Every structure is written in structure tokens, then in C-alpha cells.
Amino acid sequence: MDAAAGRLRDRTLAELTVSFAARTPAPGGGAAAAVAAAIGAAIGAMSARYTTGAKWGALSAQAEALARSLDDAAGGLLALAEADADAYAAVVNARKIGGDVAAAEARAAAIPADILAACALQAAAMRGFLPLANPQLVSDVRVSIHLLAGAGRAAWQTLLVNHPSAQVLAVARAHVRALDEADVAAIGTDAAPAAAR
């Protein structure tokens, strides 16, 4: 990542999209997956906050705890976006100057697995929250799940390029299956547009 351009999280959305569109190796797909996941977590936090207050009784505390957890996840995912961009830039640099390429690649390979794991965890939390959420915000809960699932699948693709070990691959496959299940649950028959039924 171009250090002069500043941290990803400090850029405007317009600047961020220009950074992703540039013909540079970083930020790339892994960072994009993490940013998309952070947005999914943030939308989930917003939807949870609309299920708080006296009207919601005991569910209010559960929804507020979920919102705080999603806030933390969004921050962590933005940190992973930075880490991914920095790690891939380090790989490119190591290849260029003859540094420790294996160590740089190992560091870069671990990050998409972490993004995928975070997506699976938060999508599962939102799936569990779906039947409890404020009915006016159910579409936002579903948007959160779909964004997390898509971002997780994007991280999966980045992970595959890095040739993970069999053990990492097995765990990652379980995360992808969990994302698939959450995604299908979020679609639901009542949410499908008439043209899709």
C-alpha cells in the first residue's frame, strides 16, 4: 500500500474506490473483502440498535450487546483491510528486492482466513438475531448477512490464491458452509422479490 496515500480507514469512500481501481497490487481483493464485511457489520449494528429501548424488554440488552459486538467486528475488519494491504505490499516488495518471500507470503495468507472467520461469526450472529429483530429493520438485518456472506466468499477466493494448508482449508470450508446457510436463511421465501419466486 502507498504509505503516502494514508490509511485505508482514513480515506473517503470516493478515495477508497479510486485506490481499489488503481493499477497497483495493494489494496486488492482481500482488503476489499474486509471493507465490505466492515460495512455489513456496521449495518447489522444499526439494525440491532433499533431493537433497543423499553419497548423491547429483555431483548433490548441482547440487541445492544450484539450492536457493540458488531461495532468491534467492524473496527477489527477495517484493521484487517489495512493488514491485508500492507501484507501484500510486503510480498511484492520481498519479491522485488529478494527479501524473505516465504515469510511475507505466510503473513499475507493468514489475513484472508481471519477475514473469512470474522464474516462467518458475525453472519451467524445476525442469522440468530433475524427472528428477534425489529420488524421494520428485518431488511437491514438481511442486508448485513448478505454483505458478510459475500465478503466472506471474497476472502475465501483470496485465501485460495495463497495456497493454504489442508488444516486452514478445512476450517475455511466450514466457514463458507456457515455463510451459505446464513445467506439462504436471510433470503427466506417472504423476502424474495415476486420475480424471483
pLDDT > 50? residue 166: yes
CA distance 6 to 194: 45
Domain membership flag for residue 170: yes
CA distance 150 to 145: 9
Q: What is the pLDDT of residue 26?
A: 78
Q: Which of 78, 93, 104 is nearest to 7 (CA)?
A: 78
What's the mean pLDDT in 52-71? 95
Domain membership flag for residue 133: yes
Can you read off the three cell numbers belonging to residue 153?
466468499
Q: What is the pLDDT of residue 162?
A: 80
Q: What is the pLDDT of residue 6?
A: 66
Give the number of domains in the chain: 1
| Higher-pLDDT residue of 190, 132 | 132
Q: Which of 63, 179, 69 is nearest to 115 (CA)?
A: 179
pLDDT > 60? residue 195: no
Under a CB-based contact definition with an 8 Å cutoff, are residues 155 and 147 in contact? no
Local confidence band at 5 (pLDDT 50, 70, 90 cut-offs):
low
Domain membership flag for residue 128: yes
CATH code for position 115: 1.20.120.680
**86-124 per-position pLDDT tens digit:** 888 888 899 999 888 888 888 888 999 999 999 999 999
Domain membership flag for residue 165: yes
Domain membership flag for residue 3: no
Reported pTM: 0.88
Residue 12 one-letter amino acid? T
Domain membership flag for residue 8: no
**Residue numbers of the domain that contains 113:** 17-188
What are the two backbone dihedrals, phi and then psi, of residue 25, each rounded to the nearest 5 degrees? -70, -20
Q: Which residues contact 49 (CB under 8 A, 6 or more apart)?
A: 63, 64, 67
Under a CB-based contact definition with an 8 Å cutoff, are residues 64 and 70 in contact? no
What's the mean pLDDT in 173-186? 95
| Higher-pLDDT residue of 8, 75 | 75
